Amino acid sequence: MITAIVRYTLPPEIDHDACLAHFERIAPGFREVKGLISKHFIWSETGTAGGVYQWHTLDDAKAFYGGPWRDGIVERYGQEPEIEYFDVFCITDNDRGDVRVLGEPQGAAA
């Protein structure tokens, strides 16, 4: 599993309520994205917004961010998004009441 954290700076005219309305409008469109497990739409009072995405594979994530989605971010906000990828090793899921270990060792200990 891969987590991608995506951030971009909003123009000053896009405040909390405008960002919320936009995210609410576009959220259903992410239901059919290949390989996407979940997306958390995020906003900060510092003027940063974006998403925390859970993906099945890095290839799925990179294919999505390399397509029309990226073009839309650049067109709307006039900048490239900052994208950082992480391997997910463990998940503590309090709603499900479990802990899952996803990562596996890759070599001998030092």
Q: Determine the average pLDDT of the residues in 3-25.
A: 96
CATH number of 2-101: 3.30.70.100
Candidates 52, 109, 110, 63; CA nearest to 86 is 52
Residue 75: strand, helix, or coil: helix
Please compute the mean of the pLDDT values over residues 11-32 and round it to a whole number.
96
Q: What are the residues whose beta carbons fall under 8 Å from the beta carbon of 8, sequence distance 6 or more?
A: 48, 49, 50, 73, 77, 79, 80, 81, 82
Q: What does the pLDDT read at residue 105?
A: 82
Chain segment 30-87, per-residue pLDDT in tens: 999 999 999 999 999 999 999 999 999 999 999 999 989 999 999 989 999 999 999 9
Residue of 109, 65, 68 lying closest to 85 (CA atoms): 65
Torsion of the alpha carbons at 29, 32, 33 and 39, rounded to the nearest 10 = 60
pLDDT band at 106 (very low <50, low <70, confident <90, very high): confident
